[in-house]
Amino acid sequence: MIITALTHQLPSLLAQAQAFTPPTGSEYMRILPELILSLFGMIVMVVDPLLDEERSQKPLGAIGLIGALAALASTYVMAQYPGAGFWNMVRVDGFSVFFHVLVIAIAAVAILSSYEYMSVQRIRAGEYYGLILFGTVGMCLMSSAIELVLIFIALEISSISTYILAGFRRREAASSESSLKYFLLGSFATAFFLYGVAMMFGATGSTNIDAITHALASGAIAPLVYVAVALMFIGIGFKIAAAPFHIWTPDVYEGAPAPIVGLMSTGPKAAAFAVLLRVLFEINAPGRFWLVWVSAALSMTLGNVGALVQDNIKRLLAYSSIAHAGYMLVAFAAQPELGTSAVMFYTAAYAAMNVGAFAVVSHFANAGEKYLTLEDYAGLGRRSPMLAATLTFFMMSLIGIPITGGFFGKFYIFSAALKANLVGLTVIGLINSAVGAYYYLRVVVAMYMREPRGEVPVTPVPFATGLAIAACVLATLYLGVVPGRVLDYATQSARDLVSRDGRVARVVALQ
């Protein structure tokens, strides 16, 4: 069957190859953020050898930050050129602009919070900032690619960067373990994804999302499609740390540098969710319901139960990230339109609170990341009231208390689920979020209600870290008090993405 499909497609593929036209200027505008990020990534790499190693960290970080901010600004330009480009491989729409802004902002905050970390941990900065920028290119492309092969390549760009970044604390065995584990399991998972892509190509004769959508909507669905969807789900499920593909998460998060954990628990995750939204919702993948139902229920439960017994805050937040992936997966069982907008909102809210929490953790961990257990946090409320108050705020957001972004994130997810009459999954989710309250609360209890231990140093918060934390607080608060604008934007782009009219318009454009 695969072969017939191939031979069937061959003439048209050849014709496409012959009719090669170079991309136009506006097509380059559609990947402007990626271009800028790559450019600055290369500048960082080129400048690095020219600077004295001892003093290179600050200027390189500044270049990285400028690059990220420039890319952030360029998303505005990119948004002015909606439509597909590069032989139908990328498409700029509300959806991809949303994720571009999100992952670039995450990268910018991660760079900011790395400033202090780099000098305290004595890590060479050149490759570090370069890799963050290159990884962001991959994440950006994941959200705008509408060609499964390009999605795969983007996924690899982002993954390989994070594999290396995870191992950046070279003096620590745990960090190398983290990197290797992440690399081995990650490659394994991307292979699953690629296998799924191949199957999808075999079943529908195309790797283009629009063409697949069309093929699935028009004809009978081959059994191979179900296998393809399942395999792609496994691949992405690994990236988003969804159970039962979550085993790597705690070890990797524990070993990797704290600012990088902040980045990789949100940036690549958001991008992977963007991909998942495309391969499940945009193409209206058949047979997804029980897949995501089971995975969502498992992730929420295993994540929360696992977090209950953690004493290391990085491991605790790792399990919490599994649980949050579960909450987001709940929306994938709902109707596409509501589900998509709920997931989009949640990725933003989760990014704001989790990056913020890790910024506090990485500041507090100090040289060699020595202070990571809950005992070390004892009495922080007395010794550093502002830091403790912000961490409390992030914990409240992770619990899902109102006026934080985390609350509305959960709210939209579960109201989308209830709209689709998913009462069982909603109840599992709500009970889980109540269970989750316990371990987030343990952090707050430690900070405010336990007696401080003298030997844990509390250093003043440097400007860059303060800025990163403040940005996260403001974003979490913004999403919690006036979520309307972000949600309206998400709803509109979700409608364009998954509504019937949107699909039809794109298929027409394709032909």
* Binding stretches for other proteins (CB under 8 A): 381-382, 385, 396, 399, 401-403, 411-412, 414-415, 418-419, 426-427, 430-431, 433-435, 437-438, 441, 445, 448-450, 482-484, 487-488, 491
Residue 433 · residue 397 · CB < 8 Å? no
Considering the complex, what minimum distance in angstroms separates the CB of residue 331 from other proteins? 13
Nearest to 250 by CA among 315, 173, 166, 165: 315
Cβ partners under 8 Å of residue 53, min gap 6:
124
Name the token pair of 307: 């977090």
Cβ partners under 8 Å of residue 161, min gap 6:
131, 132, 134, 135, 138
User: What's the distance, CA 179 to chain centroid?
Assistant: 18
Considering the complex, what minimum distance in angstroms separates the CB of residue 136 from other proteins? 30
3-state secondary structure of 418: helix
SS3 sequence, 18-45?
HCCCCCCHHHHHCCHHHHHHHHHHHHHH
Nearer to other proteins, 25 or 484 (CB): 484
3-state secondary structure of 114: helix
CA atoms of 477 and 402, how far apart (whole Å): 10
CA atoms of 315 and 250, how far apart (whole Å): 5
Nearer to other proteins, 445 or 467 (CB): 445
Nearer to other proteins, 144 or 432 (CB): 432
Nearer to other proteins, 29 or 338 (CB): 338
Nearer to other proteins, 132 or 328 (CB): 328
CA atoms of 405 and 398, how far apart (whole Å): 9
CA atoms of 410 and 427, how far apart (whole Å): 12
3-state secondary structure of 84: strand
Residue 29 vs residues 35, 80, 464, 469: alpha-carbon distances, Å: 9, 9, 31, 32
Considering the complex, what minimum distance in angstroms separates the CB of residue 186 from other proteins? 35
Considering the complex, what minimum distance in angstroms separates the CB of residue 413 from other proteins? 10
Considering the complex, what minimum distance in angstroms separates the CB of residue 251 from other proteins? 28
Q: Which phi and psi angles does 378 have, rounded to 5°?
A: -55, 130
CA atoms of 84 and 358, how far apart (whole Å): 36
Considering the complex, what minimum distance in angstroms separates the CB of residue 346 from other proteins? 15
Nearer to other proteins, 273 or 440 (CB): 440
Considering the complex, what minimum distance in angstroms separates the CB of residue 402 from other proteins? 4
Considering the complex, what minimum distance in angstroms separates the CB of residue 426 from other proteins? 6
The DSSP result for 137-162, as a single string, is HHHHHHHHB-BHHHHHHHHHHHHHHH
Considering the complex, what minimum distance in angstroms separates the CB of residue 483 from other proteins? 6
Nearer to other proteins, 190 or 310 (CB): 310
Nearer to other proteins, 434 or 504 (CB): 434
Nearer to other proteins, 295 or 491 (CB): 491
CB atoms inside a 10 Å sphere around CB 46: 12
Nearer to other proteins, 81 or 448 (CB): 448
Nearer to other proteins, 125 or 490 (CB): 490
User: What's the distance, CA 310 to chain centroid?
Assistant: 23
Nearer to other proteins, 215 or 391 (CB): 391
Nearest to 323 by CA among 260, 409, 405, 242: 242
Query: What number of CA atoms fall less than 13 Å from residue 174's CA on the CB side?
Result: 14
Nearer to other proteins, 9 or 415 (CB): 415
SS3 sequence, 177-192?
HHHHHHHHHHHHHHHH
Considering the complex, what minimum distance in angstroms separates the CB of residue 98 from other proteins? 16
Considering the complex, what minimum distance in angstroms separates the CB of residue 429 from other proteins? 9
Considering the complex, what minimum distance in angstroms separates the CB of residue 411 from other proteins? 7
Query: What number of CA atoms fall less than 13 Å from residue 420's CA on the CB side?
Result: 21
Radius of gyration over every alpha carbon of the chain, rounded to an integer in angstroms: 22
Considering the complex, what minimum distance in angstroms separates the CB of residue 416 from other proteins? 9
Q: Which residue has the tokens 């059994």?
A: 223
